[in-house]
């Protein structure tokens, strides 16, 4: 019996409500002695910490730096080593793009090239409407390569989705992304012989993108990663016996929630609008995944002060969530994004859980240091949902 079979067997329904509030990339490293969580004025998060159990999560394994996909899969209770999901399918599903059995999708970033060097992986983070104009330009110019139909779809800011359609396409190709600025173009490579033809199509697409966009000031190239077809996943509701809602502003996180069977609820673009959405749907679901993106964005930008500001904004809105009287509330992240690194990292992620069954009283504040010495210790991220179920009295006893 694997863990999903066991938890599914033990899970029971009741009237409890669970909130999983994810501040993407929340974990950090000290700058001048303080992390953004330490530097932020967070009276509400700190008050919650005094009523909660604190600890740290390991998203994948110690020392492994997770992408957002594995990070969130772990938070949803899915082993990211078993369920390896490409970012392309998450971005596509999050953008309500239909993905069929003959489709291969990839997440794309507009980028800025100087010669063969990628000098900006996000092309200056263009506004979404400006980016959409360039996506339309690509779509009008590149429709088919080697019998493969090509479609492009706009996303948020510098992001878009590319869909390749042909029955022989293979997802086992490498990312066409150097991952760091100041490096040369990286072309896609076949990871198995059967994918050679797919890699050639991907690289031809990128060459044509370069030609079509050669007159664009910043958005003059694209980076592709997360090539994927539509996977089969056991549903969240089937395993955990909870009707789950996802409130997220970015397509990738909506896509991931949709992939595990959560209902993705339309919402606005601000954190305040996400909380208003939570209030409106409170009576319709058992489990609520609420995603805050900008903590991660500013971590990747290396902007300490703006990351602090987002944390303080979440703190100011926390009383509105607590006014709904959730039986269990968890505040955590999917991974750490230290501002001094400007990237995801392997560091443990702050985690706190409050219910009337929590062993509280040890912690005084919600930050990395307090979580490191919290009652929970270090746990695997995929153990978070069973822990929430236990605190909500949604798990029966195992064995005699």
Is 3-84+233-391 a CATH 3.40.720.10 domain?
yes
Round to the nearest angstrom and report the end-to-end CA distance of the chain.
17
Q: How far apart are CA 132 and CA 60, in angstroms?
A: 34
Contact (CB, 8 A) for 292 and 24: yes
Query: Using an 8 Å Cβ cutoff, are 59 and 328 in contact?
Result: no
Q: Domain residues of the chain, as ranges? A: 3-84+233-391, 90-228
* The pair of three-digit structure tokens given for residue 244, joined into one six-digit string: 């789950």
* Residue listed under structure tokens 């990339």: 25
pLDDT per residue of the chain (400 residues) written in tens, 0 to 9: 788 889 999 999 999 999 999 999 999 999 999 999 999 999 999 999 999 999 999 999 999 999 988 999 999 999 999 887 777 887 787 788 888 889 999 999 999 999 999 999 998 889 999 999 999 999 999 999 999 999 999 988 899 999 999 999 999 999 999 989 999 999 999 999 999 999 999 999 999 999 999 999 899 999 999 999 888 788 999 999 999 999 999 888 988 898 899 999 999 999 999 999 999 999 999 999 999 999 999 999 999 999 999 999 999 999 999 999 999 999 999 999 999 999 999 999 999 999 999 999 889 999 999 999 999 999 999 999 999 999 999 999 998 8
**CA-CA distances (angstroms) from residue 90 to 175, 176, 259?**
15, 18, 7
Tell how strand 263-264 and strand 117-120 pair up. Answer: unpaired
Closest CA to 77 of 198, 236, 206: 236
Residue environment code for 310-326, b if the CB has 16+ CB neighbours within 10 A, otherwise e: bbbbbbebbeebbeeeb
Burial 100-123 (b: 16+ CB within 10 A, else e): eeebbbbbbbbbbbeeeebebbbb
Residues 6+ apart with CB under 8 A from 323: none
Helix (H) or strand (E) holding 148: strand 148-154
**Token representation of residue 253:** 């996180």
Q: What is the pTM of this model?
A: 0.79
């Amino acid at each position: 019996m694997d863990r999903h079979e066991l938890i599914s067997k033990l899970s029971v329904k009741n009237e409890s409500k669970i909130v999983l509030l994810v501040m993407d990339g929340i974990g950090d490293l000290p700058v001048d002695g303080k992390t953004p969580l330490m530097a932020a004025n967070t009276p509400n998060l700190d008050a919650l910490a005094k009523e909660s159990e604190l600890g740290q999560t390991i998203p994948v394994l110690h020392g492994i730096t997770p992408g957002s996909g594995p990070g969130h899969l772990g938070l949803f209770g899915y082993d990211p080593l078993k369920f390896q999901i490409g970012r392309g399918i998450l971005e596509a599903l999050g953008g309500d793009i239909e993905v069929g059995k003959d489709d291969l999708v990839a997440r794309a970033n507009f980028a800025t090239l100087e010669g063969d060097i990628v000098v900006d992986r996000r092309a200056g983070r263009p506004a979404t409407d400006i980016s959409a104009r360039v996506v339309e330009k690509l779509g009008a110019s590149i429709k088919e390569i080697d019998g493969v139909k090509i479609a492009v779809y706009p996303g948020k800011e510098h992001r878009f989705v590319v869909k390749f359609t042909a029955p022989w396409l293979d997802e086992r190709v490498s990312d066409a992304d150097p991952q760091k600025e100041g490096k040369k173009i990286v072309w896609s490579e076949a990871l198995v012989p059967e994918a050679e033809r797919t890699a050639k199509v991907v690289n031809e697409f990128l060459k044509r993108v370069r030609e079509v966009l050669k007159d664009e000031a910043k958005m003059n190239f694209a980076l592709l990663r997360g090539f994927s077809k539509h996977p089969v996943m056991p549903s969240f509701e089937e395993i955990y016996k909870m009707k789950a809602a996802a409130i997220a502003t970015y397509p990738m996180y909506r896509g991931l929630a949709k992939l595990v069977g959560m209902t993705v609820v339309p919402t606005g673009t601000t954190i305040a609008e996400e909380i208003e959405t939570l209030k409106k749907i409170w009576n319709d679901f058992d489990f609520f995944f609420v995603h805050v993106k900008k903590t991660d964005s500013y971590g990747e930008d290396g902007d300490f002060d703006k990351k602090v500001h987002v944390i303080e904004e979440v703190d100011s809105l926390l009383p509105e969530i607590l006014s709904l009287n959730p039986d269990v509330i968890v505040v955590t992240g999917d991974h750490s994004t230290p501002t001094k690194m400007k990237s995801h990292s392997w560091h443990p992620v702050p985690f706190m859980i409050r219910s009337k069954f929590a062993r509280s009283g040890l912690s005084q504040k919600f930050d990395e240091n307090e979580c490191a010495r919290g009652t929970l210790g270090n746990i695997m991220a995929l153990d978070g949902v069973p822990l929430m179920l236990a605190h909500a009295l949604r798990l029966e006893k195992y064995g005699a």
